[in-house]
Amino acid sequence: MADIASVETSSQQKRVGLFVTCLVDLMRPSVGFAAAKLLEDAGCRVEVPRQACCGQPAYNSGDRRTTREIAEQVIEAFAAYDYVVAPSGSCAGMLKVHYPQLFRDDPNWLLRAEAFAEKTHELISFLVDVLGVTSVAASHEGTVTYHDSCSGLRELGVKAQPRKLLVTIGGLRLEEMRESDVCCGFGGTFCVKYPAISNVIVGKKTEHIAATGAETLLAGDLGCLMNMAGKLQREGKAIAVRHVAEVLAGMTEDPPIGETRVREAQAKP
């Protein structure tokens, strides 16, 4: 990790508040560190204010009051930053697209929510579209396939950006799957409220993933990744699953999602 004293702190340096997302925070911190590295490599100063969740579980369950309380808290926690960046299209979409809708009847908060939305971005699109990053220094031997998570794709237009950066990685070959833009069946609470339907959808997805022959599956949302990894593993399909930020940052020393070092070692011939 870069020494904080060595990082340039000129007034031009962009101050980024990392909205790490609750799944990355709890399940896979390595994605958060990969995000921080990518942002720092691009010249940003990264800070992580105390945070919990963006409020989607309440929002999508129809509990508007709780969602608003959480949203107000998030907007205040990130008030000081030039940018808010999240390694998730779903959470960034919540912050950027849905927070303003949440306050559509409250002129005071609406202005704050709109200003907050303006400076909020999904990680990879921030790197490419805002910071103008055109390549990464990482290397990765092998074939990967990329799933377009729905919120990032349809709410934020994240589609070309991760591919643009992935193809600059030495040794990496990108093999597109069929229907990469179709939902994986996760859907937050959907996958536990309607598990049987979710299972059919993710079953189609793992078929398309396996058909590419890729050794690694990448995406930009940990929820979708956990869902697809869990199904691939239950089906006994040996495909490593990682957040795209880990590969872009060259930080793949941690085992893939749902794997351990022991298992990884065993799996190698």
Partner 1 sequence: MTLAITSPAFKENARAAIADPQLQGVLRGGLGFIDRRQAAIDRLPEFDALRDAARDIKNHTLAHLDLYLEAYEERVRAAGGHVHYAVTPEEARAAILDICRKAGAKSVTKGKTMIAEEIGLNDFLEANGITPIETDLGEYIIQIRHEAPSHIIAPAIHLNKAQVEADFRRVHKHLPENRNLAEPATLLAEARGILRERFLAADVGITGANFLVAETGTSIIVTNEGNGDLTQTLPRVHIVLATIEKLVPTLDDVSQLLRVLARSATGQDMSVYTTFSTGPRRADDPDGPAEYHVVILDNGRSAMLGGEFRDMLRCIRCGACMNHCPIFGAIGGHAYGWVYPGPMGAVLTPALIGVDLAGHLPNASTFCGRCEEVCPVRIPLPRMMRDWREREFERHLSPRTVRTGLAFWAFFAKRPRLYGLATAVAMWVLSLAGAWRGRFRWLPLASAWTRERDFPAPQGATFQSQWKRRRR
Q: By C-beta, is 107 or 196 nearer to partner 1?
A: 196
258 is a site residue for partner 1 (CB under 8 A): yes
- If one asks whether residue 60 binds partner 1 (CB under 8 A), the answer comes out as yes
Query: Minimal distance in Å, beta carbon 94 to partner 1?
Result: 11
Compute the least distance from the CB of residue 230 to partner 1, in Å.
3
Cβ 74 vs Cβ 95: under 8 Å: yes
Question: How many Cβ atoms are within 10 Å of 202's Cβ, its own excluded?
Answer: 24
Please give the size of the binding site for partner 1, defined by CB under 8 A. Answer: 74
Applying CB under 8 A, does 185 fall inside the site for partner 1?
Answer: yes
Task: Say whether residue 52 binds partner 1 (CB under 8 A).
Answer: yes
**Residue 157 vs residues 55, 124, 150, 202, 247: alpha-carbon distances, Å:** 22, 11, 10, 23, 21
CB of 237 to partner 1, least distance (A): 11
189 interacts with partner 1 by CB under 8 A: yes
186/209 Cα distance (integer angstroms):
16
- 163-167: long-range pairs with CB below 8 Å, 24+: 164/128, 164/134, 165/124, 165/127, 165/128, 165/133, 165/134, 165/135, 165/136, 165/248, 166/218, 166/244, 166/247, 166/248
Is residue 200 within the footprint of partner 1 (CB under 8 A)? Answer: yes
Contact between 240 and partner 1 (CB under 8 A)?
no
Should residue 5 be labelled a site residue for partner 1 when binding is judged by CB under 8 A?
Answer: no
- State which residue, 169 or 185, has the beta carbon closest to partner 1: 185
Q: Answer yes or no whether residue 218 interacts with partner 1 by CB under 8 A.
A: no
In the complex, the smallest distance separating the C-beta of residue 166 from partner 1, rounded to whole angstroms, is 23
Q: What are the φ and ψ backbone dihedral angles of 215, each rounded to 5 degrees?
A: -85, -20
Tokens of 13: 């340096």
Interaction residues for partner 1, span 15-44 (CB under 8 A): 20, 22, 24-30, 32-33, 36
Q: Among 63, 143, 164, 215, indicate the residue that binds partner 1 (CB under 8 A).
A: 63
259: left (phi over 0), alpha (psi -120 to 50) or beta: beta
Q: Which of the residues 96 through 135 are near partner 1 (CB under 8 A)?
A: 101
Q: Is 45 in the site for partner 1 (CB under 8 A)?
A: no
Distances in whole angstroms, Cα of residue 1 to Cα of each of 31, 37, 130, 148: 14, 7, 23, 29
One residue of 44, 172, 183, 244 binding partner 1 per CB under 8 A: 183
How far is CA 107 from its chain centroid? Answer: 31
Pick from 234, 237, 238, 267 the residue near partner 1 by CB under 8 A.
Answer: 234
The one among 123, 133, 150, 249 contacting partner 1 by CB under 8 A: 150
Q: Does 51 bind partner 1 (CB under 8 A)?
A: yes
Picking from 105, 140, 88, the residue whose alpha carbon sits closest to that of residue 247 is: 140
Q: How far is CA 63 from CA 57, 69, 89, 227, 238, in A?
A: 9, 10, 22, 25, 40
Residue 267 engages partner 1 in binding (rule: CB under 8 A): no
